[in-house]
Amino acid sequence: MPTKLQPIKTPVFLIVLVLCIMSCREQINAPTSHKFWDTNLSIDERVIDLILQLTIDEKISMLDYHSVAIERLGIPEYNWWNEALHGVARAGMATVFPQPIGLAATFDPQLIHTIADVIATEGRAKYNAARALDNTGQYMGLTYWSPNINIFRDPRWGRGQETFGEDPFLTAELGKAFVNGLQGSNPDYLKAAACAKHYVVHSGPEELRHVFNAEPPIKDFIETYLPAFEALVTQSNVAGVMCAYNRTYNSPCCGSPYLLKDILRNDWGFKGYLVSDCWALIDFHETHKVTANATESAALALNNTVNLNCGIVYRESLKSAVEQNLVSEEDIDSALATLLTVRFRLGLLDPYGKGPYDNIKPNVLNCEQHQKLAYQSALKSIVLLKNRNNTLPLSPNIKKIGVSGPMATNAEVLLGNYHGISKNLITMLEGVANVVNPGTMLQYRQGCLIDQPTKNPLNYAFSEFGNMDANIVVVGISGLLEGEEGESLLSETKGDRFDLKLPQSQIDFITTLRAQSDKPLVLVLTAGSPVILAEAEEAADAILLAWYPGEQGGQAVADIIFGKESPSGRLPISFPKSVDQLPDYHDYSMVDRTYRYATYDFLYPFGFGLYYTQFKYHNLVVEPIEMNLNQNAKVKVSITNTGNRKADEVVQLYLSNLNSKQRVPFQSLIGFKRISIDAGKTVQVEFDIAANNFETVFDNGSKAIEPGKFKVSIGGSSPVERSTQLGIAEPLSAIMTLKVNN
């Protein structure tokens, strides 16, 4: 059990607020001039004025995710629950970008920032339109419960598709970019409010998320699970944090003094709002059994600084908690002050028209510019996993081509989960039809079902497609087979995938089609998590991993297949060869998990992705090769595109501690840059390595920098042997010596 840290230090503003309210309690029912509407006052002054005028029942009602109107004060109803995982979700027309696991494959923080800014723009447009309709319902607000920055520690987790992958550094960098883009740069107003979820150790099993107790070694907790949350809080000032359903170290995540007070509030200085995952407080007494009833559950959450309840426990039980002296009205004032600060920063309690975003119109929704951004993000996300004998790209002037597979016309696989609605969904078949020559004979048959054998003994696909010049088979999984508890309708395991294989019906179709023809067979794979292809991998000449690529996914896939664009995505997760390689799913230790700690061989490793050219790394320089703690090292490398076409490379920098007696990662990503290089050209890339990159987390949770030798590796994938086996040039490396003392 982690050692408890120092008590939370109450922010000065909240101390002043409570003292003011205590001294002015008799003024609550007095006539007021509604000073809180005055935008010339500071937000602190406006918050205090508003709280002074509220009854305790009104205050409690405003701690509920569905905050009811306070009509006598002109306070409108507000619903805090909104989603924007990869586009404004669940509220109608919006641009649908690739699922976050696909966005992670871009390794492009600037792109993520731009996408999040567009999401905020479309969110403002929807909010303004909804306000004109007096529509204050769920999914119409500006408080988005995104991004999901949990670590995708185990490929069986159905919600891993919502994350930025398995690496804490990559997750932190992309998460910061998302928050910065969504919240904007206006010093006085938030464009939208981001929320980092699910704090903190939360990544399956889905079926057990309401009862599970995660107990990772404290080393893994600090080294792997915390860093992305810390980065979003301390570097991007994320407006909100959502605590998870499960327990961690025996305490519910939404009622843990260690997680919420000691670490989040005290150590990191988080001043934003804490929201429970939806109906998580009910789990306190019904499944975790740490409280006797809803009243005690409400008190446990509020006393541990949970400001907002997504659920009904605060609404129904917080008043009785006050009456039983389990919480004080001052505690309620403190929680509400944080929430009101967010609402004021969003301009939700300003006279309409005064805010900088009040004039954003609905014509921005899914506009042409945003569709182009969706296309570019899909292009950058698609990963070329295999390209035997340079099968790809195909010529658009091919004479006969077949498109088949259960995902070829399936618009569902473009969307992922937590998505909006677009009128511009381009399926894989439509994308191919848009690209090939009008004189090409293009045929389509579904060929097989998603996850069960066909019933009809006759299948025209085999006789038709055996004579094609090439076959494109679009296979994979969808939200029917993986996702959140309750959403995956074909899943018997509530969205998790305990067998990572491609469904046998699809494997059988691919291998049978292969037996009919020796012409190029191109697989397009849709998924939000690793898929073990088994015999289908050998049968295929080329494999493109499309993820759930968003509304323009079909066009992006087709443009890559036919060479209009080059593939440039890189894996943010590693693919095992077999589920038997994986540790116990219920074990939150990082031993033998992810590319950082796995001792087994991968099918496809972290950071991997092929291209239609070749890159040569040369002239690696590390300065100084011996460094002290008060120095930064600089890494320089030259990269030449030795092929005949322009392409993007994702340059990846890894560090390995060679001398530690601790359990340390075999390698850790510490830097990456996406660059575009013209054919035949050379560019130089530089990275800075700060002393804190050499920090070791010890078994007791302490941190220190150990002197000794470190290996720096730089290349186009993680520095594992499997990458070179699959066609990536061996990374360049150098040995550095770190001296703690001068």
State the CATH number of the domain containing residue 447.
Answer: 3.40.50.1700
Give the integer Cα–Cα distance in Å for 395 and 156.
37
CATH code where residue 336 lies: 3.20.20.300
Closest CA to 27 of 5, 50, 58, 46: 50
Residues 345 and 385 placed together within one structural domain of the fold: no
Whole-prediction pTM value? 0.95
The string of pLDDT tens digits covering residues 414-453 is 999 999 999 999 999 999 999 999 999 999 999 999 999 9
Residue 3 resides in a domain = no
Residues 338 and 384 placed together within one structural domain of the fold: no
Residue 673 resides in a domain = yes
Residue 29 resides in a domain = no
Which range, of 193-207, 266-280, 337-351, 728-742, averages the lowest pLDDT? 728-742
Residue 610 resides in a domain = no
The confidence score (pLDDT) of residue 26 equals: 38
Range of the domain at 131: 12-22+34-361
The string of pLDDT tens digits covering residues 628-673 is 888 899 999 999 999 999 999 999 999 999 999 999 999 999 999 9
Residues 352 and 434 placed together within one structural domain of the fold: no
Q: Which of 162, 482, 485, 565 is catalytic?
A: 482
The confidence score (pLDDT) of residue 735 equals: 98
- 303 DSSP assignment: H
Q: How far is CA 353 from CA 144, 347, 349, 350, 366, in A?
A: 22, 10, 11, 8, 24
Residues 355 and 377 placed together within one structural domain of the fold: no
**Burial zone of 358 (CB within 10 Å; 0-12 exposed, 13-18 middle, 19+ buried):** middle
CATH code where residue 697 lies: 2.60.40.10
Residues 445 and 349 placed together within one structural domain of the fold: no
The total of structural domains in the chain comes to 3
Residue 609 resides in a domain = no
Is residue 24 predicted with pLDDT exceeding 80? no
Residues 355 and 373 placed together within one structural domain of the fold: no
The confidence score (pLDDT) of residue 352 equals: 87
Residue 372 resides in a domain = yes
* Helix or strand run (H / E) with residue 636: strand 633-641
Q: Given 331, 361, 391, which residue is the final one in a domain?
A: 361
Is position 122 annotated as part of the catalytic site? no
468 near 517, Cβ under 8 Å?
yes
Name the percent of the chain lying above pLDDT 70.
95
Name 578's Cβ contacts closer than 8 Å, sequence gap at least 6: 532
**Strand ranges (E), 163-294:** 195-199, 213-214, 240-243, 247-248, 251-252, 273-276
Residues 269 and 299 placed together within one structural domain of the fold: yes
Residues 513 and 636 placed together within one structural domain of the fold: no
Is residue 257 predicted with pLDDT exceeding 90? yes
Measured over the CA atoms of residue 331, residue 335, residue 338 and residue 340, the dihedral's sign is negative
Residue 1 resides in a domain = no
The confidence score (pLDDT) of residue 740 equals: 74
Which range, of 11-15, 135-139, 496-500, 518-522, averages the lowest pLDDT? 11-15
Residue 325 resides in a domain = yes
Q: How far is CA 8 from CA 259, 275, 303, 304, in A?
A: 11, 18, 11, 10
Q: Given 313, 346, 361, which residue is the final one in a domain?
A: 361
Residues 437 and 572 placed together within one structural domain of the fold: yes
Q: Which of 230, 277, 296, 331 is catalytic?
A: 277
Name 259's Cβ contacts closer than 8 Å, sequence gap at least 6: 199, 200, 243, 248, 251, 253
Residues 582 and 620 placed together within one structural domain of the fold: no
Is residue 535 predicted with pLDDT exceeding 60? yes
Q: Given 361, 376, 404, which residue is the final one in a domain?
A: 361
What mean pLDDT is predicted for residues 188-194?
98
690 near 632, Cβ under 8 Å?
yes
**Strand ranges (E), 372-466:** 383-387, 400-404, 441-445
Give the integer Cα–Cα distance in Å for 616 and 625.
23
Distance of CA 470 to the CA centre of its chain: 36
Residues 300 and 162 placed together within one structural domain of the fold: yes
Residues 468 and 590 placed together within one structural domain of the fold: yes
Closest CA to 528 of 163, 77, 279: 163
Give the integer Cα–Cα distance in Å for 653 and 634.
12
Is position 108 annotated as part of the catalytic site? no
